[in-house]
Amino acid sequence: MNLDSKIYVAGHRGLVGSAITRNLQENGYTNLVFRTSGQLDLTKRDQVDAFFEEEQPEYVFLAAAKVGGIVANNDFPADFIRDNLMIQTNVIDAAHQNHVKKLLFLGSTCIYPKLAAQPMREDSLLTGELEPTNEAYAIAKIAGIKMCQAYNRQHGTNFISIMPTNLYGPNDNFDLNSSHVLPALIRKFHEAKLNNAPTVEVWGTGTPKREFLYSDDLADAAIYLMNTYNGSDLVNVGMGKDISIKELAEKIGKTVGYSGAIVFNASKPDGAPRKLVDVNRLKDLGWTAKISLDEGLEMAYTWFLENIEKNTMMTN
């Protein structure tokens, strides 16, 4: 990408899209194009076609998607498969029709089998059963990867796919029903501290392990790969280190300064037992993560205090 290339960041207000936008702006990219979902509903093909015909972006970061935590995925599988298939099909095909030079598709590590060998290598895709709580979302993401690969093969496009591990950072979703674990626990521990609550509820057994990457690191990797990587093979993006949910809860309790007890609610799903990604391909391509979980947690909690805690609209 040149500094004046026209770049469309789809989903620029979200966790990932906002981090990519910040990074591009800080690095002097001046010709960025955005639309909110209210201005451009990417599930509507006619709107997507009109937008691409009008704007003719050269590069596309596809960070718009229907995203949620384990319970939202489990409760609304139809919404997750429908919206994601529609958004990505519309954007990928419009990018081809309008001769976009390069597109970056964001998948997720939930595309790998529930019991994939750890750390999970890119070639474990489609080698086993998926985790049932997010199968619908994962199937949509796998279709997105395969669509990029098929377009590259048949049409000679340059559409790349990256598979980030669990992410967190500014503009995360802190709604307790639909968020991922890390923002949910920041909010739960913070509110328990304020209310002097004796316990905080953590879903599941606390034994599953997850890997967490700060969104600024992910954005840095995405832009690095957009600038340097041309290939149909997917690329994992992560830290290469994981932690149990129990350890994460203890860490967040410490960050927030909560001194009560943690109670596990085993009636909520655990999901995949472990999702550690193999980051060797990414390392070989020349990129490694820079922000540790401890640093990232401090930054995420500070962002929460400055942007969400003050928001009196928080209702659940």
Ligand X SMILES: NC(=O)C1=CN([C@@H]2O[C@H](COP(=O)(O)OP(=O)(O)OC[C@H]3O[C@@H](n4cnc5c(N)ncnc54)[C@H](OP(=O)(O)O)[C@@H]3O)[C@@H](O)[C@H]2O)C=CC1
Query: Does 42 appear as a known binding residue?
Result: no
Q: How far is the CB of 39 from ligand F7E (least distance, A)?
A: 26
Rounded to a whole number of angstroms, the distance between the first and last alpha carbons of the chain is 42
- Tell me whether residue 190 is annotated as binding: no
Contact window for ligand F7E (CB under 6 A) among 58-66, 69-77, 253-261, 277-285: 69-77
- Rule CB under 6 A: say whether 269 interacts with ligand F7E: yes
CB of 62 closer than 8 Å to CB of 104: yes
Tokens of 219: 């954005």
Active site residue 137: yes
What is the total count of residues that contact ligand F7E (CB under 6 A)? 24
User: According to the binding rule CB under 6 A, does residue 11 interact with ligand F7E?
Assistant: no
> Residues 106, 65: contact at Cβ < 8 Å?
yes
Distance of alpha carbon 100 from alpha carbon 63, whole angstroms:
16
Shortest distance, CB of residue 294 to ligand F7E, whole angstroms? 19
HEC per residue, 238-303: CCCCCEEHHHHHHHHHHHHCCCCEEEEECCCCCCCCECCECCHHHHHCCCCCCCCHHHHHHHHHHH
Q: Shortest approach of ligand F7E to residue 185 CB, angstroms?
A: 6
Distance CA(138)–CA(261), nearest Å, equals: 34
Could you give the count of Cα atoms lying within 13 Å of 143 in the half-sphere of its Cβ?
19
Pick 258 or 281: Cβ nearer ligand X:
281
**Closest Cα to residue 211, out of 89, 108, 75?**
108
| The one among 103, 106, 110, 300 contacting ligand F7E by CB under 6 A | 110
Kindly name the residue from 59, 137, 258, 301 that is annotated as catalytic: 137
Minimum distance, C-beta of residue 31 to ligand F7E, in the bound complex (Å): 31
Is residue 107 part of an annotated ligand binding site?
yes
Cis peptide before 77 (omega within 30 of 0): no
Query: Which of ligand F7E, ligand X, none sits in contact with 307, Cβ below 5 to 8 A by type?
Result: none
Selection from ligand X, ligand F7E, none that 146 binds (CB < 5 to 8 A by kind) is none
Active-site residues: which are they? Answer: 137
Which residues of this protein are in contact with ligand F7E, per CB under 6 A?
68-70, 73, 108, 110, 134, 137, 166, 179-181, 184-185, 202-204, 208, 210, 245, 268-271
